[in-house]
Structure 1
Amino acid sequence: MKFQGVLTKMNTENKDVVQYYLATDRHVLNLNQFLNKSIAISFDGYECLSCKKEKKIYRQGHCYDCFYDQPYTADWVMKPELSKAHLGIEERNLAYEENAQLQPHIVYLALSSNVKVGVTRKSQIPTRWIDQGAKEAIVFVEVPNRYLAGITEVALKAYVSDKTSWQKMLKNNVEQQDLVKIKQELKPYLPEETKQYYVGDDHILKLKYPVEKYPEKVGSLNLDKDPFYEGVLKGIKAQYLIFEDGKVFNVRANEGYKVQIEITS
């Protein structure tokens, strides 16, 4: 069984076990069905997700020119506190920025490698948590725009991390934490502008991933250095494929890469 196409991040569906789907030019693959099967990945070149040209990928699936031109790769995406659409100020494309920034956003706590604070659009729950490999997550505040979420995250990351250790997350080396207790302890540190948006509901979403075996050591597969790889798929977590030999492949980090994928057994 062989497939080919340009990589984009895996789509997910939260069921009893998270379901993962990889879309190619002609197919949508449910990757869960390939656990314990041998998978070969061959690198065939690049295709920018924006201009579609066969140019080397710079970041986030885009060539250098598109990364510094498109509105969805601007600084406010990674740093929500830089959002300015609520002030009517354009960075690259005001219509796009208003649509993306002026909608409900969530500030949350998630347990992935450790407890972390993060920001996402409300419409991206629980997708964002799955993409980070969170075992558990809880909503902290719900605000009407991205800027307010950003300044909340900045305030809280003085007390809790805003980063995930991908190695610990993939090894499932995660110490259990009480998210409700941590949420209550952090509440006094909310900025004045967002205290009114505190969410009192302490529901914790728990996520289960399709992993047969977690690796003891992890090594990242780099298609630029290793254009061919074959291994037995033992799990999928966050946006990573986990193989029996400890190699892991970050699908999202390889967006814009043209590949052939062959299921050999």
Structure 2
Amino acid sequence: MQYQGVLKKMATENLDSVQYYLDMKSDFLHMNQLINKTISLSFVGYECLNCGSTEPIYRQGFCKSCFFESPRVADWILRPELSKAHLNEEDRDLAYEKEMQLQPHIVYLANSSNVKVGVTRKSQVPTRWIDQGAHEAVEIVEVPNRYLAGITEVALKEHVADKTNWRKMLKNDIEDVDLNDWKDKLKPFIPEETKEYFIETNKETNISFPVEKYPVKPKSLNIVKQEAYEGKLVGVKGQYLIFEDETVFNIRSNEGLALNIEVKK
């Protein structure tokens, strides 16, 4: 069967194994059902996720003008400590910024390629951890706004990583650790402003991904440059499709690309 649509990050459900769904406009592809099937991908063009422009995607699914103008990709998204809505100060769109920033946020530890600290809206737990390919995660603090989460992350990343090594994550080159142990070790470094929000007792969340075979030497597919690719899907982890020949395709980093997808036997 053939499908055409514009890539957006896959929707997920955290069941016994994560369930993945790819929105292709007229159809939702349940990616778990496509494992062990041959899939053909071909590049069609671009469509900005914000304005619908067919100009080349600049970053994060947005054309260049939208990337520098839309509040959906402002600096405070990647750097929460730059949030200013709690001060009633506008960056690009104060109403949007209040909606996004002035809600409960979680600072967490996740183990994907290594133990890392991160920030997400409470409503995005455990989606954020799934998207990062973490097999275990735990909340450290729950704060009422994004700024407080940001300054906590800045303080803690002096003592623990804040990035995921995508190759190690995809190779499943990981080890189980006691994240609550890590949490207790990091507690003294939490800023004074957020110490009262420390979560004393909670359990790790464990996540299992639908992967039949992990790549030994994952190689990333550039579908724009290559234009077309065909391979047998053997797993999905994070936002990556994993193929039998060790090619991997990051749906998230290719948002805004229009593709044809053909599912074969």
Give 1:87's aligned residue.
87
Give 1:167's aligned residue.
167
Letter of the 2:237 partner, please give it: K
Question: What is the rounded CA distance, in whole Å, between the counterparts of 2:50 and 2:119 in structure 1?
Answer: 25
Question: What is the rounded CA distance, in whole Å, between the counterparts of 1:112 and 1:7 in structure 2?
Answer: 24
Give 2:46's aligned residue.
46
Give 1:7's aligned residue.
7
Give 2:157's aligned residue.
157
Letter of the 2:210 partner, please give it: P
Give 1:186's aligned residue.
186
Question: What is the rounded CA distance, in whole Å, between the counterparts of 1:60 and 1:213 in structure 2?
Answer: 28
Give 1:76's aligned residue.
76
How many equivalent pairs are there?
265
Q: CA RMSD in A?
A: 0.5
Question: What is the rounded CA distance, in whole Å, between the counterparts of 1:25 and 1:136 in structure 2?
Answer: 32
Letter of the 1:194 partner, please give it: T
- The answer to whether structure 1 residue 177 and structure 2 residue 172 are counterparts is no
% identity of equivalent residues? 62
After TM superposition, list the pairs within 5 Å mapping 1:242-253 onto structure 2: 242-253=242-253
Give 1:263's aligned residue.
263
Quote how far apart the aligned CAs of 1:223 are. 1.3
SS in 2 for 1:22: strand
After TM superposition, list the pairs within 5 Å mapping 1:1-265 onto structure 2: 1-265=1-265
Quote how far apart the aligned CAs of 1:53 are. 1.3
Letter of the 1:15 partner, please give it: L
Quote how far apart the aligned CAs of 1:202 are. 2.5
Q: Give a deviation string over 1:184-235, Cα, whole Å, max 9, x none.
A: 0000000000000001123100000000000101000001211100000000
Quote how far apart the aligned CAs of 1:125 are. 0.3
SS in 2 for 1:193: helix
Letter of the 1:57 partner, please give it: I
Runs of 4+ in 1 over 4 A off after TM superposition: none
Question: What is the rounded CA distance, in whole Å, between the counterparts of 2:71 and 2:43 in structure 1?
Answer: 28
SS in 1 for 2:21: strand
Question: What is the rounded CA distance, in whole Å, between the counterparts of 2:227 and 2:108 in structure 1?
Answer: 38
Q: Report the TM-score when normalising by structure 1.
A: 0.99
Letter of the 1:197 partner, please give it: Y
Q: Give a deviation string over 1:125-163, Cα, whole Å, max 9, x none.
A: 000000000000000000000000000000000000000
Question: What is the rounded CA distance, in whole Å, between the counterparts of 2:161 and 2:244 in structure 1?
Answer: 30
Question: What is the rounded CA distance, in whole Å, between the counterparts of 1:75 and 1:93 in structure 2?
Answer: 13
Q: Give a deviation string over 1:60-83, Cα, whole Å, max 9, x none.
A: 100000000100100000000000
Question: What is the rounded CA distance, in whole Å, between the counterparts of 1:202 and 1:151 in structure 2?
Answer: 22
Quote how far apart the aligned CAs of 1:264 are. 1.4
Q: Report the TM-score when normalising by structure 2.
A: 0.99
Question: What is the rounded CA distance, in whole Å, between the counterparts of 1:74 and 1:165 in structure 2?
Answer: 24
Quote how far apart the aligned CAs of 1:178 are. 1.3
Letter of the 2:41 partner, please give it: I
Quote how far apart the aligned CAs of 1:175 are. 2.1
Question: What is the rounded CA distance, in whole Å, between the counterparts of 2:201 and 2:41 in structure 1?
Answer: 44
Question: What is the rounded CA distance, in whole Å, between the counterparts of 2:175 and 2:17 in structure 1?
Answer: 21
Letter of the 2:60 partner, please give it: Q
Letter of the 1:168 partner, please give it: K
SS in 2 for 1:39: strand
Question: What is the rounded CA distance, in whole Å, between the counterparts of 2:171 and 2:106 in structure 1?
Answer: 28
Quote how far apart the aligned CAs of 1:176 are. 2.0
SS in 1 for 2:223: coil
